[in-house]
Amino acid sequence: MSENLKNASNNATEKKYAVGIDLGGTAIKGGLVDNRGAVLYSASVPTEREKGAKAVAKNIAKLVKTILEKAKMTKDDVVGIGIGSPGTIDSKTGTVVYTNNLNWKNFPLADEVSALTGIRVKVANDANAAALGEYKFGAGKGAEDVVMLTLGTGVGGGVVIGGKLFEGYASAGAELGHMVIDRGGEQCTCGLRGCFETYASATALIRETKKAMLSNPQTKLWEVGLDNVCGKTPFDYMDVDESAKKVVNEYIDALTIGIINIVNIFRPQKVILGGGVCEQKKVLLPPVRKAVSERAYGGKKAPKCEVVVAKFKNRAGQIGAAALWLE
Ligand SMILES: [Zn+2]
């Protein structure tokens, strides 16, 4: 352990560290995280998923070694390694049951990484881990019941109830992005139609913006060009173009309905929004907050639920994974 960290741990006897790993399809990001949620050292390596699960586990172990070397620590200085993985995870055993993203089936990730590093390992679904990180150290701090929604390519979700991550039977739960908000609506990648994700993701914003362009040759959105449309495009034009404004308003409406459903089921103290779409928080938050306070069950007489934006951006995965070990 380096002198600085030694001094820090002398000052605060409860100081603990864990390595948090954010396992993605192209890169593995990792960080040494303390029990206040601060990332002290971080690094990344390519995932190399084409080489197979065992090779990816080796890459994770290599990354952990690099991070510990940077921190001048040994394996005995950390309480454990947390891994946030895509897919369905049996968090009791640390097995990746299924992931489309990495093309794995029943891979004992915790056991593999633990054998390579000599450190205890916990694995959780990445969206669940991110929710746990925000609950413990970020925008959810101080609340006991928190739901996080990540608005990106899809819509991920994580639920913390009574201070505990709710994962459902065999940790296969909390797929909030796949609650149906429009029966018979847009086709979802999961096989159902009308899932929340098909209206509240960045992918939905892109689809609806393109639709608006194709049905209206006059819209200013054509300045961008069909191929350059991204989730931000309708927000950029909403003040000068009616079609763009309509796309944004319908997005807000769908997001609101999904959040109201979540509030009606869980009545969390906070709903935390993360993901790229949250860069538009100035546009999104005021109408969403107003609608949730007025239209969720009980209206203004019901206990209040705050809608807030996540604290951690690129590091949410690492911090959330480390949070599996840290209080
Ligand atoms: Zn779906």
Per domain, the residue ranges of the chain are: 3-133+316-322, 142-309
Between the CA of 193 and the centroid of ligand 1 the distance, in Å, is 7
Between the CA of 191 and the centroid of ligand 1 the distance, in Å, is 6
Between the CA of 152 and the centroid of ligand 1 the distance, in Å, is 14
Between the CA of 203 and the centroid of ligand 1 the distance, in Å, is 13
Q: In whole angstroms, what is the distance from residue 53 CA to residue 86 CA?
A: 13
CATH fold label, 3-133+316-322: Nucleotidyltransferase; domain 5 (3.30.420)
Report pLDDT digits (tens) over 251-308.
999 999 999 999 999 999 999 999 999 999 999 999 999 999 999 999 999 999 999 9
Q: What is the mean pLDDT of residues 26-50?
A: 96
Q: In the predicted model, is pLDDT for residue 236 greater than 80?
A: yes
Between the CA of 189 and the centroid of ligand 1 the distance, in Å, is 6
Residue 136's φ and ψ, nearest 5 degrees, are: -80, -40
Between the CA of 24 and the centroid of ligand 1 the distance, in Å, is 21
Model confidence, pTM? 0.89
Q: In the predicted model, is pLDDT for residue 12 greater than 80?
A: no
Residue 110's φ and ψ, nearest 5 degrees, are: -60, -45
Q: What is the pLDDT of residue 27?
A: 93
Residue 149's φ and ψ, nearest 5 degrees, are: -120, 125
Mean pLDDT score of the chain: 94
Q: In whole angstroms, what is the distance from residue 112 CA to residue 21 CA?
A: 14
Report pLDDT digits (tens) over 52-109.
999 999 999 999 999 999 999 999 999 999 999 998 999 999 999 998 778 899 999 9
Identical topology for domains 3-133+316-322 and 142-309:
yes
Between the CA of 101 and the centroid of ligand 1 the distance, in Å, is 16
Q: In whole angstroms, what is the distance from residue 271 CA to residue 263 CA?
A: 8
Q: What is the pLDDT of residue 14?
A: 78
Q: What is the pLDDT of residue 84?
A: 96
Between the CA of 10 and the centroid of ligand 1 the distance, in Å, is 50
Between the CA of 251 and the centroid of ligand 1 the distance, in Å, is 17
For 126-221, where are the E strands, in sequence order?
146-151, 155-161, 164-166
Using a pLDDT cut of 70, give the percent of the chain over it: 96
Tell me which CATH code domain 142-309 carries.
Answer: 3.30.420.40
